[in-house]
Homo-oligomer: A and B are copies of this chain.
Amino acid sequence: MANEEILGVTVLNSWKLAISRFGKTLSELSDEQLQQQVAPGRNRVFYLLGHLTATHDRMFPLLGIGERLHPELDDAYITNADKLIADPLSAAELRRAWAEVNDKLTRAFEGFTLEDWLQKHTAVSDEDFAKDPGRNRLAVVLSRTNHASYHLGQAALAK
């Protein structure tokens, strides 16, 4: 296997592991448990699930790999704090949206070459990217992977 290919596999494994771990925790929580706060006065797991689904959905335009699937989630889970806006989807619908968004992202990442990973994301200008080529798609995906791990640490407290 060439170095570039090994690299792609290693990065993809890290993303897949974070997603599957969050999915495992979700599968261990009932719809009622999703309404629990992760600690007194903190976000509900349901909010964290909506927040991660929306954040990952925003990667389609951010990475230039397609249209969003669930823009209806932003108001409740990105723009506003927990419980300010009614949940737009049921627990079953939100669980489905989570899987749908991540499956589609994963399929796109599986097709990435090293060149694809190192392309600029769409939120950086050509000029800024020329100065800092670290602002690439790989940086976005590593950041989102860590962001999912951050909230997984919190969601795990509800088990």
Contacts and interface: CB of A to CB of B under 8 A. Distances in A.
Contact of A157 (B10, B13, B39, B117): B39
A153 B145 CA distance: 13
A91 interface: no
Contacts of A143: 14, 17
Interface stretch (A1-9, A58-66, A92-100): A1-9
A137 to B, nearest CB: 10
Interface string A1-39: 101001101110110011000000000000000000011
Interface residues of A, number: 37
B10 A139 contact: yes
Interface string A31-70: 0000000111010000000000000000000000000000
